[in-house]
Amino acid sequence: MLSKRERLEKTIAGEETDRVPVALWRHWPGDDQRSADLAEATIAFQRRWDFDFVKVTPASSFAIADYGVQDRWVGHLEGTREYVRRAVERSLDWTELRVLDPSRGALARQVDVLRLLKDEFGEDVPFIQTIFSPLAQAKNIAGPGLLIEHMRTAPDRVKTGLNTITESTLRLIDAIRRSGVAGIFYALQHASYAVMSESEYQEFGRPYDLRILEALPDDWWLNVMHLHGSAPMFDLVADYPLQVINWHDRETSPTLAEGKLKFKGAVCGGLGRWDPMHNGTPVEVRTQARQAMEQTNGRRFVLSTGCVIMTTTPTSNIRAAREVVES
DSSP letter at 64? T
Q: Identify the CA nearest to 80 among candidates 63, 58, 105.
A: 58
The percentage of the chain sitting over the pLDDT mark of 90, rounded to a whole number, equals 100
Q: What domains can be seen in the chain, in order of their start residue? A: 4-324 (3.20.20.210)
pLDDT one-digit tens code per residue, 8-39: 999 999 999 999 999 999 999 999 999 999 99
Cis peptide before 276 (omega within 30 of 0): yes
pLDDT one-digit tens code per residue, 126-167: 999 999 999 999 999 999 999 999 999 999 999 999 999 999
pLDDT one-digit tens code per residue, 186-229: 999 999 999 999 999 999 999 999 999 999 999 999 999 999 99
- Supply the pLDDT for residue 43: 98
- Supply the pLDDT for residue 62: 98
User: Where residue 289 falls among pLDDT bands split at 50, 70, 90?
Assistant: very high
pLDDT at 233 over 90: yes
pLDDT one-digit tens code per residue, 117-130: 999 999 999 999 99
pTM of the model: 0.98
pLDDT at 327 over 90: no
Q: Identify the CA nearest to 5 among candidates 158, 124, 89.
A: 124
Please give the helix or strand (H or E) that residue 224 lies within, else none. Answer: strand 224-227
pLDDT at 169 over 90: yes
Decide the pairing of beta strands 301-305 and 70-72.
Answer: unpaired
- Supply the pLDDT for residue 205: 98
The per-residue DSSP string of 130-158 comes to EEE-HHHHHHHHH-HHHHHHHHHH-HHHH
